[in-house]
Amino acid sequence: MANLESNLNNLSETFDKLNEIRESSLTISRAVVRDCSKSIRFLHRNDIKGAKEFIDSAKKKMTELKKLTEKVSEISFAGYVLDAEREYVEAVLFYVYESKGYIEPFEKFNVHPSSYIQGIGDTIGEWRRKALDNLRNLELLRSESYLNIMEESLGILNELDYPDALTGGLRRYADNARAIIERTRSDITTAFVNEALRNDISKMNENEL
């Protein structure tokens, strides 16, 4: 009986510690997602400084989250932890492109590779929104620059040929990204054609005068 009691106590203590880590990591993960969401909203308002504050906050929380979960595989691969990683990658990729004009490489992130891939896929959606915002303002070349970075990102996804079990659904993300890019290309092409027509009509009117 003594051995049984000792065994149960050890198990209980272990699960108590795991549960504490789970509760703490869940709270941090939710905070990361909130910070990232706010950062993205600021970027859509063209507020780089405001976005950076939330990126910095999310980075600190991600460091804390990784330290807390890195030796606990059951929690390190938990859905809510991977969600936080994916949201963080998306926010950072979006921020770095807006502020520096390039795709932040995987080596700069301490996340699972599948989270980086999914983050790229999600960021393509944010870049489409930016492209459309610029189209509405008739900033066609700026809009086209977002299409270019979307295509560059899709190129990364297309070059990775690994099972979905490793990548977290790479094919689905690539297919969705491809559809988003095709719609964006169509929108931009239509905008360029319309702009050319407006210019031709304007020149015709000037010649008539």
Residue 64: predicted pLDDT:
96
Q: What's the rounded mean pLDDT across residues 86-99?
A: 98
Q: State which of 97-106, 166-175, 188-197 shows the largest mean pLDDT.
A: 97-106
Other CB atoms within 10 A of residue 103 CB = 15
What does the buried/exposed string (b/e) look like for 58-82 if buried means 16 or more CB atoms within 10 Å of the residue's CB? bbebbeebbebbeebeebbebebbb
Q: What's the rounded mean pLDDT across residues 104-123?
A: 95
Q: How confident is the model at residue 99 (pLDDT cuts 50, 70, 90)?
A: very high
Q: How confident is the model at residue 208 (pLDDT cuts 50, 70, 90)?
A: low
> Is it the case that residue 209 has pLDDT exceeding 60?
no
As a whole number of angstroms, the distance between CA 206 and CA 209 comes to: 5
Q: What's the rounded mean pLDDT across residues 191-204?
A: 72
Do 122 and 156 contact (CB within 8 A), yes or no? no
> Is it the case that residue 5 has pLDDT exceeding 70?
yes
Do 121 and 151 contact (CB within 8 A), yes or no? no
Residue 73: predicted pLDDT:
83
As a whole number of angstroms, the distance between CA 151 and CA 87 comes to: 20
Which residues have a Cβ under 8 Å from the Cβ of 198 and sit 6 or more positions away? Answer: none
Residue 184: predicted pLDDT:
96
Residue 84: predicted pLDDT:
97
Single-letter amino acid, residue 188: I
Residue 164: predicted pLDDT:
86
> Is it the case that residue 189 has pLDDT exceeding 70?
yes
Alpha helix locations (H) across the chain?
2-44, 48-69, 73-76, 79-100, 113-136, 140-159, 164-167, 170-208
* Least confident window among 94-98, 107-111, 192-196: 192-196
Percent of the chain with pLDDT over 70: 94
36: nearest Cα among 85, 74, 78, 82: 85
Report the mean per-residue pLDDT for the chain.
91
Do 110 and 62 contact (CB within 8 A), yes or no? yes
> Is it the case that residue 57 has pLDDT exceeding 90?
yes
Do 55 and 47 contact (CB within 8 A), yes or no? no
State the pTM of this model. Answer: 0.89
Percent of the chain with pLDDT over 90: 74
Which residues have a Cβ under 8 Å from the Cβ of 120 and sit 6 or more positions away? Answer: 89, 93, 103, 153, 156, 157, 173, 177
145: nearest Cα among 157, 90, 153: 153
| Radius of gyration of the CA atoms of the chain, in A | 23
Both tokens assigned to 42: 């600021």
> Is it the case that residue 201 has pLDDT exceeding 80?
no
Domains and CATH numbers, the chain: 1-101 (1.20.58.2140), 112-209 (1.20.58.2140)
